[in-house]
C-alpha cells in the first residue's frame, strides 16, 4: 500500500515496553495509514494487547511499566499530551469480552457523550441511534432501549460495546480479538460493520484468526515475542511466499 506522510495517522518509532525487568515490546517501528484496516496477528503473549494499550496510554494504569520510543497520533507525541482524555476519545477501544455497564442500552451509549458535556436530549437520541445503527444493533433493540444492556445476548453485548466505543466519535478504532466470545454469524455482521466504518475511521484489528485478518485488512503486521517479524500488504503476507518463513508457518498453523 503506497502512501504519503500526510496519510499517516499513527507513527510508532522504536517503541519499547517493559513490565518491571521483563521487556515485552522490543523497539518496534511502524506506521498506520488513515482510513485503512490494519491488522495485527501473532501467538499469545506476543505483545499485541500491550501495544494497543500503548497507543492510547491506557498502559498508564498498569504499575511498574516503563516505555521508551515515541507514539505519534496525527503528528502529536502522545507522551507529551497534557490532556490524555482527549487522546482516549480519539482512539476508541473494544476489548475481547463485552463489558457492559449496568445501565440501560440507551445509557450505555449515551454515557460517554454525557460525560463530555452533551445534554440535549434530541442530540443524544440522534447519536445513540447512529452508533447503534453503525454497530448493526439498532433494529434489534430500538423498541427496548430502556432495558438493561447486560441482559442482551453475548453477541449483542459485543455490538453494544462497539456502539459505546463509537459514541465519543473516535478517529481511530482499536479492536482486540472482538470475536473471541461470539458466534460466527455475529462475527460476520461485525466484520461488515467494520468494512463500512473504514470510510470514516482508521481501524486497528488485533485478531488470533488469520483468515479474519486476510478478509478485512489491507495490511497485516505479524508480531511475535514483542518483535515485528513481517509487515506488508495482505497480498504478500498471505501469499505462498511471504518474506519470512515464520510468517508462512504461523499463518498455516504450523505453530502458535
Taking only the tens place, the pLDDT of each residue in 168-190 is: 899 999 999 988 878 888 889 88
What grid cell was written down for 219?
495490511
Q: Is the pLDDT of residue 56 over 90?
A: yes
pLDDT, tens only, 23-44: 999 999 999 999 999 999 999 9
- Name the strand (E) or helix (H) holding 134: helix 121-134
Residue entry with cell 455482521: 189
Q: How far apart are CA 82 and CA 87, in angstroms?
A: 10
- The answer to whether 68 and 16 are in contact (CB under 8 A) is yes
Q: How far apart are CA 98 and CA 198, in angstroms?
A: 22
pLDDT, tens only, 157-167: 989 999 999 99
- The answer to whether 190 and 179 are in contact (CB under 8 A) is yes
Strand order in the sheet with 202-206: 91-94, 172-176, 202-206, 37-41, 219-224, 227-233
Give the CATH H-level superfamily of domain 5-251: P-loop containing nucleotide triphosphate hydrolases (3.40.50.300)
**pLDDT score of 1:** 47
pLDDT, tens only, 194-218: 999 999 999 999 999 999 999 999 9
The radius of gyration of the chain from alpha carbons, rounded to an integer in Å, stands at 18
Q: How far apart are CA 241 and CA 219, in angstroms?
A: 16
pLDDT, tens only, 69-116: 999 999 999 999 988 988 999 999 998 887 778 999 999 999 999 988
Q: How far apart are CA 4 and CA 253, in angstroms?
A: 35
The fraction of the chain above a pLDDT of 90, given in percent, is: 79
Q: How far apart are CA 116 and CA 143, in angstroms?
A: 26
Q: Is the pLDDT of residue 255 over 90?
A: no
Nearest to 93 by CA among 181, 173, 205, 196: 173
Q: How far apart are CA 93 and CA 221, in angstroms?
A: 19
Q: How far apart are CA 87 and CA 73, in angstroms?
A: 8
- Within 10 angstroms of residue 26's Cβ, the number of other Cβ atoms is 15
pLDDT, tens only, 111-159: 999 988 999 999 999 999 999 998 889 999 999 999 999 999 988 998 9
Nearest to 10 by CA among 44, 46, 51: 51
**pLDDT score of 99:** 76
Q: How many residues does the chain have?
A: 256
Domain residues of the chain, as ranges?
5-251
pTM above 0.85, yes or no: yes
Amino acid at each position: 500500500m503506497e502512501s504519503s506522510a500526510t496519510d499517516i495517522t499513527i507513527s510508532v518509532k522504536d517503541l519499547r515496553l517493559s513490565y518491571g525487568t521483563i521487556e515485552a515490546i522490543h523497539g518496534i517501528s511502524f506506521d498506520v495509514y488513515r482510513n485503512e484496516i490494519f491488522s495485527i496477528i501473532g501467538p499469545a503473549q506476543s505483545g499485541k494487547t500491550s501495544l494497543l494499550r500503548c497507543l492510547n496510554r491506557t498502559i498508564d494504569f498498569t504499575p511498574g511499566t516503563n516505555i521508551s520510543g515515541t507514539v505519534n497520533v496525527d503528528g502529536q507525541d502522545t507522551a507529551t499530551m497534557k490532556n490524555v482524555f482527549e487522546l482516549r476519545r480519539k482512539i476508541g477501544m473494544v476489548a475481547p469480552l463485552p463489558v457492559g455497564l449496568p445501565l440501560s442500552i440507551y445509557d450505555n451509549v449515551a454515557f460517554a457523550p454525557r460525560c463530555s458535556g452533551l445534554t440535549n436530549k434530541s442530540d443524544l437520541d440522534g447519536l445513540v441511534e447512529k452508533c447503534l445503527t453503525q454497530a448493526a444493533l439498532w433494529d434489534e433493540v430500538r423498541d427496548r432501549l430502556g432495558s438493561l444492556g447486560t441482559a442482551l445476548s453475548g453477541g449483542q453485548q459485543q455490538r453494544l460495546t462497539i456502539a459505546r466505543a463509537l459514541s465519543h466519535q473516535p478517529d481511530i478504532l482499536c479492536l482486540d480479538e472482538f470475536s473471541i466470545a461470539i458466534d460466527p454469524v455475529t462475527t460476520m455482521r461485525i466484520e461488515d460493520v467494520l468494512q463500512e466504518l473504514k470510510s470514516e475511521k482508521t481501524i486497528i484489528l488485533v485478531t488470533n484468526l488469520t483468515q479474519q485478518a486476510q478478509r478485512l485488512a489491507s495490511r497485516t503486521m505479524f508480531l511475535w515475542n514483542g518483535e515485528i517479524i513481517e509487515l506488508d500488504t495482505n497480498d504478500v503476507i498471505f501469499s505462498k511466499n511471504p518474506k519470512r518463513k515464520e510468517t508462512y508457518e504461523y499463518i498455516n498453523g504450523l505453530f502458535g
